[in-house]
Structure 1
């Protein structure tokens, strides 16, 4: 027995030793790819020495004797810190993820092959001016220099993820950077999904007024009545398909098209000198995108021949998209310009390879593509295009529920233009010195469409940049729903001139900005958009901007971090009007007592979505349950698509605007329910959900426990054990409709997780430019073993920033390393 015990002890000890050795081996291999920031390398592609000085936040300050050399250094720095992220983004744009990840990314690849973003990017290379092309080529050479160094010195394949997936990495090309900007444009446009949703709802709701309730227009002048969607086509839509619930698309972080409510959002605003306490211009910007680990943003400073620029870049794209120079500051927000249209194309019943045009039937443009899949057989696809754009399959975006038999859907989108010169616009913007220079520099910007706010020392302005389709005034659906592609009046007539895009220069009030709100009210077809991203945050922003005669950097930071929900302040008095302090005191432990406690807490609440308070969670659960009760009977399974509360809908219903109070009555029930009944029942639903998921003590609830910012790794985020290493979770304040926006997931067992927020924040003060500040949501490095992987995360969560200075002496004084890239010496004979 003793001998058996000794052998068991030896086996156990051996297993422990082997496990420790295995863990050490994994750590050693993974650590090999940690970059050495304090080193010198001889490389091909630079004409003179390049210096990359990394300050104590690991922000690279790239110095060179020519602009191409500086872009070379930026490419090298991006590849040092974010190589895996860049590889995955490039494969997404190319439609080649499945070569690495297998069947789980096939649907993403199929969509990207149909859109052919990479093909449009390759064609666009020839459209670049010489200066832009030189920057793209130098940037690509910098990335490739890092790849060569990794191969030559066996640096752990460049990223620990490479050991798990080991993808072949082709040299970076200028087209890859153009494709990544197009990919970001795709992720920031939600017009495609908006058209499909409106068409589906119009087919389910017979009363157009009710469609306007659940899909309300942003406040302003009304919109002319739209046609019934089914009446646009000859044949009826199969009724069994109208109840289709969720679209067949993968729930994957790399899915490139934004879900409703998840497209790009942002806050950006500026103050002129007369509204600044110190007499200089101030600009604040926080672009909102899906949270990820690492963040999509990367901070950098470039010393160009025109001067230094510093701000936020996206790895793979050689441009500072939000930042400043000594003379100019710029920030961006999604404009929601309607740059996408779906067209219903009628196929020839006698020839399946033809579709109808205004001039008769015409063959589809077709091409075959082979999709290679890891551990599975390749898939051969037939790609089709019409005059209006690529044909999308019925299986995507719920198109099967709105496409008549014998028809297909095609997408027109400005981002597919093969002469895209958007990157050149950003390079010119970085060299601009005045507001007028900046507006002129961006005239070739195509996509994504953005509201660009710019300031120089004395002026402020906001200009919508990006191409706007030119539509016929007689367009059947005004671009709000798919329209027949064979009708000439529905087809695009080219692109509108840049001069027709909205511009606000030196506004009389001295403040300009946007929160994705409706910025202009022009009649169709100059309308910009019917689908806007915000009707709520702008109320709070307006109040904060007008509450002070003059502003400072700190007041702009205060507004950027504001967590008061104007939506809660508006809706709670409406939905609780007949419930506050009514009825007799109920005994403890009863549902009535819990409801009274919840109402008592909410009655004293100021609408602040603070992570430490219970009221935000009670409020959020209540209005979520309320909207579900209001729409479930009318919309049926389609109600599951409405994952986020629409505040204007709730307000219309409880104010009975245009008869919207009819939503409160349950169609299938005999009694006539009132809105008070719905509010009370929804509150009971919410309390039950809270008790099941967060406990029965309402006073002990914390909004931050439910509203955790979820920065998920794009490929390892769902892998057991590894997810604890690569994912970043933080308790956060804010909500769907606060300036410090933290958009909730809306679905699943954790519907209030914060999944879409300001991954970058910056405030640029031109009274003292070097007092400007910025921060990103995670850290500069994409390597989970790096101390810079999440070092800014806690600062971001607490609403703190790091200095945003162009003072090189400051950067050198606290540098964590200086990388020197030297021209490779010719080999001796």
Structure 2
């Protein structure tokens, strides 16, 4: 027995030693790819020396004698800190994820190939002017210089993920940067999903009034009634009933509820306490680790610019120079139309056009798949655009037999000058210059907010499709592609894009709300991203005669829900202070306690309070009860509460209270019944999920910000190193927006919000501030992987200064790039 014990001890010690050695080896290999910021590096294809000074937040200040040299330095810095992120984004745009991830990403690759994003990006290079092409080549040379350094100095393949996935990094090309711009366009648009959803609900709800309830228009003048979707295709015998749709963390295609969003507001000198213009911007995207944003300063020949860049794109997309500030918000411009194309029954390689049947344009494309046989796709295009698979956003459910779906989309331009516009905005010196520069912007459409020393302005930028006034569905539903009046007739002139310059009130802003109410086809959109946050924004802006940098920060971080304040008195009108006192332990007593808490609540979605969780769960359960019997399984698609729907129902607008009656039951339920039952549902759900007294609940426990690594975030053990989770305030409809996931098992996880915040004061530009949601580095062993995350969570910022001396003070390193001899 003693001998056995000794050998067990020896074996255990040996295994422990081997484990320690293995862990040490893994750490050593992974740490090899940590960039050395204090270094002098000889690089090819560089004309003059470039200095990269990284301030104490690891924000690179890139100093050079010519613009091309500065863009070279930005490419080098991006590749130092975000090489894996750039690799994955480029492969996504190319439709080549399956080469490293295997079959699980095949559907993403198929869709990107069908859209032909990368080929369109290659073609767009020739549409750019010489200066932009030079900048793209210089940026690509900077990225490739870092790749050369990794290879020659054996720097751990450049990122720890490269050890886990065999992902050889091909040299960067100018077209790669355009492809990433287009990739952002795919992520920011929700009109395709919205068209399909409207069609599906139209098939389920033939009553036009009920369709307006569940998919309400933003407040304002109404629109002409649309035909029922089935009437557009009277010969169709049936539609598909089931089509799978599964979101993947690497997919750029987001449901409407999680498409682009953002905030921006500006104040003229007359409304500023300092006498200078003010600008605040916080664009919203899905949370990831690292964040999509990378803070940087570029010293261009026209002066310094600083702000948020996106790795792979050589431009400051939101930020400021010494004279001009610019910010972006999603405009919700309707830049997508889905078409239903009729196939020729005698030849399925042809589709109907206004002139008769015509052959599809086709091309074969081979997808290489790790650990599986390659797949050959036949890509097909119509005059309206590429043909899409029926699985995409459940298109099969609204496509009649003998038909296929295609899409026309401005992002699919092969003469895309968006990146040239972004470059010119950086060089602009005045608001007028910035508006002129943005005329070249194609997609994704944005609202560009600009301020210079005296002027504030907002302009919708991006190509606006020109539709025929006789369009059957006005772009709101998929329409027959063979009818000439449904087809696009080019694009409208840039002057038709809405714009606001120097408004009389001295304040302008956008929370993705409806900005104009123009008649179709100059309407901009029927789908808007916000009807709620703008109400709170108006109150905060008009509550002060003058504003400061701090009051703009206060508005960015505001967590009061106008929605909660307006809906709770409506849905609880017949529940508060009614009925007799109930004994402890009964559902009635628990309901009374919840109502008592909500009665005293201000509507602030504070992470430390229980009321936001009770309110959010109640509204979620209420909408579920209202729509489930009418929509059946389609109700699962409505995973976020629509406040306008709830208001229409409880105010009985156009008979909307009909939703309260469960038509499959004999009794006639009232809206008060639904509110009471939903509150009971909510309290049961809260007890099962959190199991604590109501007063002890914390909204932040449910509303955790999920900055997850898109690839390693679900890997056991590793996920604890690469994911960043934080308790957060805010909600779906607060200015500090924390969009919830909406689906079980964690419906209130905060998955979409401000990955970047910036506030600029042009009375004292160097007092401007900004922050990103994670950190500058994409390397999870770096201290800069998450060092900004806690600042972001607490609503703190870092200086946004163009002062070189301030950048050098306590810098984390200075990299000198010198031309190779």
TM-score (norm 2): 1.00
Equivalent residue for 2:575, pick from 576, 579, 591 = 579
Which residue in the other structure is 2:699 paired with?
Answer: 703
For the pair 1:23 / 2:32, whether they are aligned, the reply is no
Pairwise CA distance, 1:237: 4.7
Native 8 Å contact 2:262 2:284 kept in 1: yes
Please give the alpha-carbon distance, in whole angstroms, between the structure 2 residues aligned to 1:384 and 1:165.
32
Q: Does 1:412 align with 2:408?
A: yes
Map 1:773-784 onto structure 2 (within 5 A): 773-784=769-780
Other structure's SS at 1:743 match: strand
Listed as ranges, the matches of 1:526-537 within 5 Å are 526-537=522-533
- Which aligned pairs between 1:193-208 and structure 2 lie closer than 5 A? 193-208=193-208
Contiguous gaps of at least 5 residues in structure 1:
none
Could you list the per-position Cα deviations for residues 58-81 of structure 1 after superposition, in whole angstroms to 9, with x for gaps in the alignment?
Answer: 000001111000000000000000
Alignment of 1:444-459 (within 5 A): 444-459=440-455
1:178-193 to structure 2, matched below 5 A, reads: 178-193=178-193
Identify the residue that residue 804 of structure 2 maps to in structure 1.
808
Q: Distance in 2 between matches of 1:716 and 1:619?
A: 34
Whole-Å separation in 2 of the counterparts to 1:509 and 1:337? 25
| Post-superposition offset of 1:248 | 2.4
Residue of structure 1 aligned with 2:723, choices 720, 727, 737: 727
Q: Does 1:369 align with 2:355?
A: no
**Aligned position for 2:65:** 65
Say if 2:189 and 2:256, in contact at 8 Å, map to a contact too: no
- Alignment match, 1:261: 257
Alignment of 1:73-112 (within 5 A): 73-112=73-112
Three-state SS of the structure 2 residue aligned to 1:715 is coil
Range 683-692 or range 388-397, more displaced: 388-397
Q: Distance in 2 between matches of 1:255 and 1:576?
A: 40
**Counterpart contact for 2:191–2:256, Cα < 8 Å:** no
In the alignment, what sits opposite 1:678?
674
Q: 420, 425, 430: which is aligned to 1:429?
A: 425
Q: Distance in 2 between matches of 1:354 and 1:705?
A: 55
Give the conservation status (yes or no) of the 8 Å contact 1:108–1:250: no
Q: Show the counterpart of 1:155.
A: 155
Matched residue, 1:113: 113
Partner of 2:629: 633
* SS of corresponding position for 1:62: strand
Structure-2 separation of matches of 1:433 and 1:114: 41
Query: Which one of 786, 791, 794 corresponds to residue 787 of structure 2?
Result: 791
Shift of 1:234: 3.4
What is residue 296 of structure 1 aligned with on the other side?
A: 292
8 Å Cα contact 2:34/2:779 also seen in 1: yes
Q: Does 1:600 align with 2:600?
A: no
Offset of residue 45 of structure 1: 1.5
The answer to whether the aligner puts 1:56 opposite 2:56 as a matched pair is yes
Q: 1:693 aligns with which of 668, 689, 692?
A: 689
Q: Is the 8 A contact 2:100 2:165 kept in 1?
A: yes
Distance verdict in 2 for CA 1:316–1:127, change over 3 Å: same
CA distance in 2, matches of 1:511, 1:397: 39
Deviations along 1:550-574, one digit per CA (max 9) or x if unpaired, are 0000000000000000000011001
Q: Is 1:50–1:821's contact at 8 Å kept on the other side of the alignment?
A: yes
State yes or no: 1:145 paired with 2:141.
Answer: no
Contact kept, 8 Å, 1:781 with 1:788, in 2: the verdict is: yes
Q: Is the 1:59–1:300 contact (alpha carbons within 8 Å) kept by the matching residues of 2?
A: yes
Mapped pair 1:33 → 2:33: yes
- CA–CA distance in structure 2, aligned partners of residues 283 and 515 of structure 1: 14
Q: Does 1:355 pair with 2:354?
A: no
Is 2:49–2:817's contact at 8 Å kept on the other side of the alignment? yes
Shift of 1:396: 1.7
Following superposition of structure 1 onto structure 2, how do residues 298-697 of structure 1 map, counting pairs within 5 Å?
A: 298-697=294-693
What is the distance in 2 between the residues matched to 1:783 and 1:630?
47
Given the alignment of the two structures, is residue 712 of structure 1 paired with residue 712 of structure 2, yes or no?
A: no
| Residue-by-residue CA offset, 1:733-776 (whole Å, 9 max, x unaligned) | 00000000000000011000000000000000001000000000
For residues 227 and 44 of structure 2, the distance between their equivalents in structure 1, rounded to whole angstroms, comes to: 62
Check whether the contact 1:575–1:676 (CA below 8 A) recurs between aligned residues: yes
| SS of residue in 1 equivalent to 2:315 | strand
User: For 1:419-456, what per-residue CA distance to the aligned partner results, in whole angstroms no more than 9, with x for missing partners?
Assistant: 00110001110010000000001101000100000000
Cα distance in structure 2, aligned partners of 1:55 and 1:793: 17
Structure 1 CA distance for aligned equivalents of residues 618 and 113 of structure 2: 42
- Do residues 737 (structure 1) and 733 (structure 2) align? yes
Indicate conservation of the 8 Å contact 2:308/2:319, yes or no.
yes
- Note if contact 2:43-2:817 (Cα within 8 Å) is conserved in structure 1: yes
Partner in structure 2 of residue 136 of structure 1: 136
C-alpha distance in 2 between matches for 1:813 and 1:745: 41
Shift of 1:407: 0.6
Residue in structure 2 matched with residue 221 of structure 1 by the alignment: 221
What's the CA shift string for 1:15-65, capped at 9, x where partnerless?
Answer: 000000000000000000000000001111111100000000000000111
Moved more, 812-821 or 304-313: 812-821
Distance in 2 between residues matched to 1:236 and 1:571, nearest whole Å: 41
**Conserved? CA contact 2:366–2:376, under 8 Å:** yes
Checking the alignment, whether the CA contact within 8 Å between 2:442 and 2:463 is kept in structure 1 is: yes
Q: Using the alignment, how far apart are the partners of 1:135 and 1:303 within structure 2?
A: 14
Query: How far has the Cα of 1:696 moved from its partner?
Result: 3.8
For residues 146 and 692 of structure 1, what CA distance do their matches in structure 2 show? 52
Match of 1:251 in 2: 247
Does structure 1 conserve the Cα–Cα contact (< 8 Å) formed by 2:360 and 2:380?
A: yes
Q: How many residues are aligned here?
A: 821
CA shift, 1:260, in A, is 2.3
Distance in 1 between residues matched to 2:554 and 2:252, nearest whole Å: 33
- Give the C-alpha shift of residue 387 in structure 1: 0.2
Shift of 1:166: 2.0
Whether the aligned pair in 2 keeps the contact of 1:368 and 1:380 (CA below 8 Å) is yes
**SS across alignment from 1:572:** helix
Equivalent of 1:751 in 738, 747, 750: 747
CA contact (8 A) 1:275 1:510 kept: yes
Aligned partners of 2:245 and 2:394 also within 8 Å: no
Q: Secondary structure at the match of 1:317?
A: coil
Runs of 5+ consecutive residues of structure 2 not aligned to the other structure: none
1:237–1:403 contact (8 Å) kept in structure 2: no
Does residue 283 of structure 2 align to residue 287 of structure 1?
yes
- Quick one: distance in 2 between partners of 1:633 and 1:368? 45
Match of 1:10, SS? helix
Alpha-carbon distance change, 281 to 768 in structure 1, aligned in 2, over 3 angstroms: same
CA contact (8 A) 1:237 1:402 kept: no
Q: Any idea what the Cα deviations from partners look like across 1:531-582, whole Å, max 9, x if unmatched? A: 0000000000000000000000000000000000000001100100000021
**Aligned-pair CA distance for 1:258:** 1.2
Shift of 1:235: 1.9
Q: 1:340–1:412: 8 Å Cα contact kept in structure 2?
A: yes
Question: Over residues 221-273 of structure 1, what are the superposed CA-to-partner deviations in whole Å (9 max), with x where a residue is unaligned?
Answer: 0010001111111322525x34x3xx523331111111121000000010000
Note if contact 1:49-1:822 (Cα within 8 Å) is conserved in structure 2: yes
Quote the Cα distance in structure 1 between the aligned partners of 2:45 and 2:301. 18
TM-score, normalised via structure 1 length: 0.99
**8 Å contact kept, 1:310–1:325:** yes
Residues 465-499 of structure 1 show CA distances to partners (whole Å, capped at 9, x for unaligned) of 00010000000000000000000000000011111
